[in-house]
Amino acid sequence: MAFEADAAPARPAERRPRSPVAARLWARAQREWAQQQFAAAERSLASVLALAPDDPDAIRMLAAVAQYQGNHAKAIDCFRQAIVGAPDDFALRIGLGIALYEHGEIDESLTHLRRACELAPTSALAWFNLGNALEKQAHAEAAATAFQRALKIDRSHVSTRLSLARTQVSLGQIEAAVSGFREILRRVPDNADAWFGLSNLNTVRFDAGDTARLQRAFARGGLSTREYELLGSALGKALEHQGDYAQAFDVFGRVKSSQRTQVTGNASGERKRVGAILHTFAHTPLPTPRDAGLGHEAILIVSLPRSGSTLVEQILASHPDVEGANEINDLRDVIDAETRRREAPFPSWCVNANADDWHRLGVEYLARTARWRATKPRFTDKNLLNWYLVGAAANMLPAARVVIVRRDPVETCLACYRQYFTGIAGFACDLDDMADYCANFLQLTRFWQDRFPTRVFDLQYEALVAEPDAVIRRLLDCCGLAFDPACLAFHETPRAVLSAPSAAQVRQPLQRDTARSALYGDRLDGLRRHLHERGVLSD
């Protein structure tokens, strides 16, 4: 959920009179702001400040304009200037807190957002934005408390209700979340986010009435692209619940066609990327680590989406020595920062990295992830891009363990096709692209298994479901963890699970009947052919 800034950046107050020219420019800036002509408003405000450099209203509005344009660094500077003259203005604190968060300055952001709540304890907007920042930082319980405070103040605030329901999902409060989504639909019957929130639980069944309402909502005109895709994703699952798999497949296809228009990249480029990683790490000698014990705290979970990685993390996080960190970005961020520093693309710079370089990067990663070891000595990192980075991680963290989670390729591709993703998952918009992505994943992860046989554990989802006790014991042994029965009762472990499509599922005992591909019949024949051509499926 996005932050919500104050829509009225200027506050009337006693000011020194503006000159006639400055007054005209200020009036023009206000009109341009109201018309959302932000670039024009920025120019007008710059002219006002050229005549009156300390004009607080102009500084304040310029901060808001910069924020709406995504220039968070400039917004921070302007909000700081404005706060000097109005330190107790809660709206300025909210604006600064949002800008700081978007700029990556998380701790200071939370300081200002908390201060806004102190200054205006009856402001729903202040509590909502604090909750939003806390939720993004995986502080789910504190986020839920903030959202509940906001709702007590303004029960009509739909964004807060949505955020609270999503947070309740991550906390395993599924009944409360379902009730929250249903309450939103009672108030706003066609709300796309609420319909999608229900469908994304993957444990709620839509009845015929729900399906009819979704069909009407999906068919109405005037939908934004995002609303169309969210409603379509929910409708596809509702049609499945009614046994209409042919129509469900068609609806999923319409959603994916819409998403495909927004996707960059292609399967050929992806294959070249994987080839470059394979070549680099196959032909670069492994450095002798400076500290062979570095990284023993970390367990990397590597998988395609919808393959069981959240389940595996829940099992490991049920162990008393392991904290589940969810899909954190620290490994990618460390590698990206080194890529920028060296001014060379990954993985080409890896051939020139020595043991000291890898040690430095490993220490940086462990420093960034220290919060996940505040109460337990080990932690999991299951970012969905980790599969590209296993070679780098193995050099950075020689004592870390890697768990590769695999699921039947056809089931994996279908599950990704049925799921609404944003951002990095453009590969899931087309079944042929999904097949290529799956083939690339299997090729690279098999290489990691061969390259690091004592550090990588290969876990087949279907084997875990069939023999949970035996597979979980082997998993724990590979990770250097003593067996603990809590890992078998993983569904009883209270923790925040931030992968919404799996958050409700991992609160249940293992389900043995998750395969769906047979229900779609010949609709998946093309996928099977493509997987066969890439060597993923055999005769």
Among the listed ranges 101-105, 217-221, 300-304, 512-516, which one has the minimum average pLDDT value? 512-516
Q: What average pLDDT does this structure show over 388-413?
A: 97
Establish if 232 belongs to a structural domain. Answer: no
DSSP symbols for 303-339? E-TTSSHHHHHHHHHTSTTEEE--S--HHHHHHHHHH
- The confidence band for 17, taking pLDDT boundaries of 50, 70 and 90, is confident
Domain boundary among 120, 146, 170: 120
Residue 412 lies in a domain: yes
Residue 381 has pLDDT above 70, yes or no: yes
- Tell me the two tokens of residue 509: 């005992």
Separation of alpha carbons 408 and 536, rounded Å? 10
SS3 206: coil
Is the pLDDT at 192 greater than 70, yes or no? yes
Structure token digits, residue 434: 């999904």
Per-residue pLDDT tens digits for 275-308: 999 999 999 998 999 999 999 999 999 999 999 9
**How long, in residues, is the chain?**
539
Q: Residue 298 is which amino acid?
A: A
% residues pLDDT > 70 (the chain): 96
pLDDT at 265: 65
Q: What is the mean pLDDT of residues 449-464?
A: 96
Interhelix angle 174-187/158-170, nearest 10 degrees: 160
In this prediction, residue 9 has a pLDDT band, given cuts at 50, 70 and 90, of low
The reply to whether omega before 347 is within 30° of 0 (cis) is yes
Give the Cα separation of 227 and 474 in Å (integer). Answer: 44
Residue 197 falls inside a structural domain:
no
Which of 98, 120, 142 is the C-terminal boundary of a domain? Answer: 120
| Residue 238 falls inside a structural domain | no
3-state secondary structure 260-313: HCCCCCCHHHHHHHHHHHHHHHHHCCCCCCCCCCCCCCEEEEEECCCCCHHHHH
**pLDDT for res 77:** 95
Query: 401-432 b/e with 16+ CB inside 10 Å = b?
Result: bbbbbbbbbbbbbbbbbbbbbeeebbbbbbbb
pLDDT band at 261 (very low <50, low <70, confident <90, very high): confident
For residue 531, the model assigns a pLDDT of 95
Question: What token pair was written down for 112?
Answer: 């200002």
* pLDDT value, residue 16: 67
Helix (H, G, I), strand (E, B) or coil at 224: coil
- CATH number for position 22: 1.25.40.10
* Whole-number Å distance between alpha carbons of 397 and 389: 12
| Distance between CA atoms of residues 161 and 180, nearest Å | 7
Residue 11 has pLDDT above 60, yes or no: no
Closest of 122, 101, 125 to residue 111, by C-alpha: 101
Per the domain annotation, does 182 fall within a domain?
no
Go through 506-536 and write b for each residue having 16 or more CB atoms within 10 A of its CB, e for each that does not: bbeebeeebeebeebeebbeebbebbeebeb
Nearest alpha carbon to residue 75 among 86, 89, 64: 64
Residue 515, domain CATH? 3.40.50.300
CA 484, CA 112: separation in Å to the nearest integer?
42
Q: What is the pLDDT of residue 518?
A: 93
Three-state secondary-structure class, residue 513: coil
pLDDT, average across residues 467-496: 93
Average pLDDT of 230-253?
96
Q: Which domain holds residue 458?
A: 267-533
Q: What is the pLDDT of residues 307-354, one digit of tens each?
A: 999 999 999 999 999 999 988 999 999 999 999 999 999 999 999 999
Which candidate, 1, 224, 285, 284, places its Cα nearest to that of 129?
A: 1
Q: How many domains does the chain have?
A: 2
For CA atoms 471, 475, 478, 484, give the dihedral sign.
negative
User: What six digits make up the tokens of 17?
Assistant: 């009179």
pLDDT band at 513 (very low <50, low <70, confident <90, very high): confident
CA distance 441 to 464: 20
Q: Which of 83, 98, 120 is the last residue of a domain?
A: 120
Q: Is residue 351 part of a domain?
A: yes
Give per-residue pLDDT as tens, 431-451.
999 999 999 999 999 999 999
Local structure of 104: helix, strand or coil? coil
> Is 358 part of any domain?
yes
2: number of Cβ within 10 Å: 8
Mean pLDDT of the chain: 92
Q: What is the pLDDT of residue 15?
A: 61
- Decide if pLDDT at 12 tops 70: no
Average of pLDDT values for 244-252?
96
> What are the DSSP calls for 36-63, one per residue?
T-HHHHHHHHHHHHHH-TT-HHHHHHHH
The pLDDT value recorded for residue 8 is 52
Contact of 444 with 388, CB cutoff 8 Å: yes
Q: Give residue 466's pLDDT.
A: 93
In a domain, 154, yes or no: no
